């Protein structure tokens, strides 16, 4: 009986591990571009933020259409809190690409501390990236907030 249970567990685990696909180098590069964008937001670094995006970036956020200047204004300029801290975690759902364009869908959870208050927010987001001078850049980002606590 013990051997059967061990065999069953081993079989289930091997099927689950086999089902997980390895990402290509390009898929990893695309996902890293998304992570860089949010790292720049976390560190309030407008230069790195612009470096991760195309010059004609469009964001669809909270029912509004933003550009890079709107993002910098709302996320950096109007955020003077001295104790600001943001930690992001990603659950990448799908990463698809061809030679010059990529689409990424992921769940984002951010823990944000500002003015002594901590908030956890969750979004479902889709990003379209294009390749510019051999680098992936974010061209469009659509964000749907799922939860705020």
CA distance 82 to 77: 12
Q: What is the enclosing helix (H) or strand (E) of 133?
A: none
Least Cα distance to 56 among 41, 38, 44, 71 occurs for 71
Q: In this structure, is residue 4 part of a structural domain?
A: no
Determine, yes or no, domain membership for 7: no
Kindly state whether residue 108 falls inside one of the protein's structural domains. yes
Q: How many domains does the chain have?
A: 1
Is residue 93 one of the residues assigned to a domain?
A: yes
Position 3 scores a pLDDT of 62
Tokens in use for 30?
Answer: 């695309």
Q: Which residues of the chain have pLDDT under 50?
A: 15-19
Q: What is the C-alpha separation between 56 and 133, in angstroms, rounded?
A: 16
Burial label for 33, CB within 10 Å (0-12, 13-18, 19+), is buried
**pLDDT of amino acid 7:** 53
Q: Which pTM was predicted?
A: 0.83
The pLDDT value recorded for residue 14 is 52
**Tokens 């930690």 label which residue?**
87
Q: Please check whether residue 137 is in contact with residue 52, taking contact to mean a CB–CB distance below 8 angstroms.
A: yes
The residue segments making up the domain with residue 37 are 23-148
- Which pLDDT score is estimated for 149? 80
Domain assignment of residue 83, yes or no:
yes
The answer to whether residue 73 sits within a structural domain is yes
User: Which CATH number characterizes residue 143's domain?
Assistant: 3.10.450.50
Q: Tell me, what's the pLDDT at 19?
A: 47
Residue 101 lies in a domain: yes
Indicate whether 104 belongs to any domain.
Answer: yes
Residue 18 pLDDT: 45
């Amino acid at each position: 009986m013990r051997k059967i249970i061990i065999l069953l567990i081993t079989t289930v685990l091997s099927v689950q591990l086999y089902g997980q696909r390895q990402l290509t180098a390009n898929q990893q590069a695309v996902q890293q571009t998304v992570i860089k964008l949010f790292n720049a937001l976390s560190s309030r670094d407008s230069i790195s933020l612009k470096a991760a995006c195309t010059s004609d970036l469009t964001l669809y956020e909270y029912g509004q259409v933003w550009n890079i200047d709107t993002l910098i204004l709302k996320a950096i300029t109007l955020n003077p809190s001295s104790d600001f801290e943001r930690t992001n975690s990603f659950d990448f759902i799908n990463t698809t690409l061809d030679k010059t364009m990529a689409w990424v869908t992921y769940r984002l959870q951010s823990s944000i501390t500002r003015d002594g208050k901590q908030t956890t927010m969750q979004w479902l987001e889709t990003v379209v990236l294009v390749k510019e001078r051999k680098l992936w850049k974010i061209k469009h980002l659509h964000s749907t907030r799922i939860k705020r606590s």
